Amino acid sequence: MGAPTACQKGFMSKAKQVALKGTIGWDKKNGHQLKGTFRDLFMLRASRDFEFFGFRDRMCFYVTNGAPKRTGRRGQEPDYRLALRIRTEFFVALERS
Protein backbone atom coordinates (compact mmCIF):
# COMPACT_ATOMS: atom_id res chain seq x y z
CA MET A 1 0.00 0.00 0.00
CA GLY A 2 1.36 3.39 -1.01
CA ALA A 3 1.40 6.72 0.73
CA PRO A 4 -2.00 8.07 1.80
CA THR A 5 -3.71 10.42 -0.62
CA ALA A 6 -4.84 13.91 0.38
CA CYS A 7 -8.39 12.56 0.57
CA GLN A 8 -7.32 9.78 2.94
CA LYS A 9 -5.35 12.19 5.11
CA GLY A 10 -8.34 14.55 5.30
CA PHE A 11 -10.66 11.73 6.27
CA MET A 12 -8.29 10.48 8.97
CA SER A 13 -7.97 13.99 10.35
CA LYS A 14 -11.77 14.32 10.60
CA ALA A 15 -12.11 10.89 12.23
CA LYS A 16 -9.44 11.78 14.78
CA GLN A 17 -11.19 15.06 15.57
CA VAL A 18 -14.49 13.25 16.21
CA ALA A 19 -12.75 10.64 18.37
CA LEU A 20 -11.02 13.22 20.53
CA LYS A 21 -13.52 16.09 20.64
CA GLY A 22 -16.87 14.58 19.61
CA THR A 23 -17.25 17.20 16.89
CA ILE A 24 -16.08 17.82 13.35
CA GLY A 25 -16.00 21.59 13.52
CA TRP A 26 -18.12 24.39 12.23
CA ASP A 27 -18.11 23.51 8.51
CA LYS A 28 -20.96 21.03 7.86
CA LYS A 29 -19.59 20.10 4.44
CA ASN A 30 -16.87 18.09 6.24
CA GLY A 31 -19.51 16.03 8.04
CA HIS A 32 -21.71 16.23 11.09
CA GLN A 33 -23.46 14.34 13.84
CA LEU A 34 -26.80 12.98 12.68
CA LYS A 35 -30.08 13.83 14.41
CA GLY A 36 -33.18 12.09 15.70
CA THR A 37 -33.13 8.29 15.58
CA PHE A 38 -29.60 8.39 14.21
CA ARG A 39 -28.14 10.86 16.74
CA ASP A 40 -25.45 8.37 17.87
CA LEU A 41 -23.92 8.40 14.38
CA PHE A 42 -21.61 10.73 12.51
CA MET A 43 -21.29 11.30 8.80
CA LEU A 44 -17.83 12.18 7.50
CA ARG A 45 -17.42 13.35 3.94
CA ALA A 46 -14.37 11.72 2.35
CA SER A 47 -14.83 13.55 -0.93
CA ARG A 48 -17.49 15.57 -2.65
CA ASP A 49 -19.29 12.39 -3.73
CA PHE A 50 -18.66 9.84 -0.96
CA GLU A 51 -19.55 9.68 2.71
CA PHE A 52 -18.58 7.43 5.60
CA PHE A 53 -20.71 6.71 8.64
CA GLY A 54 -19.60 5.71 12.09
CA PHE A 55 -19.86 6.25 15.81
CA ARG A 56 -17.75 7.40 18.71
CA ASP A 57 -17.02 5.37 21.82
CA ARG A 58 -14.75 6.82 24.44
CA MET A 59 -11.81 8.27 22.50
CA CYS A 60 -12.23 6.14 19.36
CA PHE A 61 -14.15 6.60 16.14
CA TYR A 62 -15.42 3.44 14.47
CA VAL A 63 -16.25 3.51 10.77
CA THR A 64 -19.28 1.32 10.06
CA ASN A 65 -19.95 1.80 6.36
CA GLY A 66 -19.61 4.15 3.44
CA ALA A 67 -21.76 5.08 0.47
CA PRO A 68 -21.95 7.44 -2.48
CA LYS A 69 -23.60 10.71 -1.52
CA ARG A 70 -27.33 10.70 -2.15
CA THR A 71 -29.72 13.59 -1.99
CA GLY A 72 -31.92 14.12 1.00
CA ARG A 73 -32.29 12.27 4.25
CA ARG A 74 -34.57 9.64 2.71
CA GLY A 75 -31.88 8.84 0.16
CA GLN A 76 -29.31 8.17 2.90
CA GLU A 77 -31.66 6.51 5.38
CA PRO A 78 -30.75 2.90 4.36
CA ASP A 79 -27.08 3.80 4.96
CA TYR A 80 -27.95 5.33 8.35
CA ARG A 81 -29.93 2.22 9.33
CA LEU A 82 -27.03 -0.05 8.38
CA ALA A 83 -24.60 2.05 10.44
CA LEU A 84 -26.96 2.00 13.42
CA ARG A 85 -27.35 -1.80 13.17
CA ILE A 86 -23.57 -2.27 13.05
CA ARG A 87 -23.19 0.04 16.07
CA THR A 88 -25.78 -1.96 18.02
CA GLU A 89 -24.11 -5.28 17.12
CA PHE A 90 -20.74 -3.84 18.21
CA PHE A 91 -22.00 -3.03 21.70
CA VAL A 92 -23.85 -6.37 22.04
CA ALA A 93 -20.63 -8.23 21.15
CA LEU A 94 -18.66 -6.02 23.55
CA GLU A 95 -21.02 -6.91 26.43
CA ARG A 96 -20.64 -10.63 25.69
CA SER A 97 -16.86 -10.57 25.84
pLDDT (tens digit per residue) in 23-43:
877 677 788 999 999 999 999
Q: What is the pTM of this model?
A: 0.84
The domains of the chain are located at 6-96
3-class secondary-structure state, position 53 = strand
- List the strands of the sheet with 42-47, edge to edge: 31-33, 42-47, 50-57, 60-68
pLDDT, tens digit (0-9, with 9 covering 90-100), for 41-52: 999 988 888 899
3-class secondary-structure state, position 80 = helix
Q: List the CATH code of the domain at 6-96.
A: 3.30.2310
pLDDT, tens digit (0-9, with 9 covering 90-100), for 9-24: 878 888 888 888 888 7
